Amino acid sequence: MTLLYSEVEEELRASVRALLADRCPPAAVLKRVESEPTDLDLWKTLAGEIGVAGLLIPEELGGAGAGAGEAGVVLEELGRAVAPVPFLTSAVLATRALLPTRDALLGELAEGRRTAALAVSFAASPYRPGRGSSVRAEGGRLSGTVTGVAGADVADVLLVPVDGDLYAVEGVAAEVVPSLDLTRPVATVTLDRAEGRRVGACDLAATLRFGAALLASEQLGVAEWCLETTLAYVKERHQFARPIGSFQAIKHRLADLWLDVVRARAAARNAVADPSAVSVAVAQAWNAGVAVRAAEEALQLHGGIGMTWEHPVHLYLKRAKSAEIALGTPGDHREALASLADVPGPEGGEQ
């Protein structure tokens, strides 16, 4: 097991970063978020030309047969760009749910011809996988609602987990609600005796845990962009006849933030190298907070411009704050560590 990046991962990073620099600069994301946030053209290129959609899918099922490490690197880059593409929702969460079934749909997802979403609230967690869903199955028909579903608006297929089974449902409208994260809107999915094809069994908690492991890489990318952009700004911005980055009040905050990001990188790599319950809980408990802190520090240290719509830092703040809730809050993951790391609570103790 290694916490370093492999050469293959660095090459993958370079191609994703080059494409995003060209097609998805922050200004372009900002321009589209209010009309049509998800960039499906960009997604087609990422999936078709770089092959990111099939990274986690074995070669015999039409994918690239890569691992979580490669997917993590892609997410770092997507996080750095707050890229509005359904990689995490389709190529990670939905794909991970489908993998044990070896369903033929995997081949279509790998090619990027179709996109799927897991019909589970983005606010659900490995510890409470059913949060936000009232879906039940009756004679092969599915009814109920799921709130806060990420990626549902652009999905061709919804994968609906019900009582340990996974159903593929098509042609269901997802109603997008105004979302805190402009670059990854969530939707309400309503099923009314919808016809579902049972594709196999589904361990939803394990699927969400895997998603949480990879979300830590995206959070790392968000934090890195915020730190780097802020560093560049405080070197440029002059007040009192010197760059504000020369004041210790600013430098010390950025040194602390850098240290948090360094540790977030170690946590993210550990979670993809060993996606055990402990590693994932540690990575989420740490990285979710680091991404939020980095975005909040970026906003504050940009001063007035950081508070404007025209500067992209708010896209990162909104992504970070939503991602903090997604797949379990840092508090949920810390509470899970009480038993995972044998740090039992005060049950039976006296106050």
Token couple for 141 = 């028909």
Please give the sequence-ordered ranges of beta strands (E in DSSP) within the chain, or none if there are none: 116-118, 136-138, 141-150, 157-162, 165-170, 174-176, 186-195, 197-201, 238-239, 242-243
Of 233-252, binders to another protein (CB under 8 A) are: 234-235, 242-243, 245-248, 250-252
Which region holds residue 84: left if phi is over 0, alpha if psi is between -120 and 50, else beta? beta
Structure tokens, 190: 């309503």
171 binds another protein (CB under 8 A): no
Per CB under 8 A, which of residues 286..305 are in contact with another protein? 286
Does residue 176 bind another protein (CB under 8 A)? no
Measured from the CB atom, the residue of 43 and 286 that comes closer to another protein is: 286
In sequence order, the 6+-apart residues with CB closer than 8 A to the CB of 273 are: 1, 2, 3, 68, 69, 279
Identify the residue among 139, 178, 304, 348 touching another protein (CB under 8 A): 348
| Integer Cα distance of 339 and 351 in angstroms | 21
CB 249 to another protein: min, Å: 11
Q: Would you say 140 or 344 has its CB closer to another protein? A: 344
Contact 193, 142 (CB under 8 A): yes
Say whether residue 345 binds another protein (CB under 8 A): yes
Question: x-or-dash pattern for another protein, window 249-288, by CB under 8 A?
Answer: -xxx-xxx-xx--xxxxxx-xx-----------x--xx--
Cα 35 to Cα 32: distance, rounded to the nearest angstrom: 6
CB of 254 to another protein, least distance (A): 6
How many residues interact with another protein (rule CB under 8 A)? 46
Q: Does 339 bind another protein (CB under 8 A)?
A: no
Using CA atoms, how far apart are residues 322 and 233, in angstroms rounded to an integer? 25
Query: What does the binding site for another protein look like in residue numbers (CB under 8 A)?
Result: 2-4, 231, 234-235, 242-243, 245-248, 250-252, 254-256, 258-259, 262-267, 269-270, 282, 285-286, 334-335, 337-338, 341-351
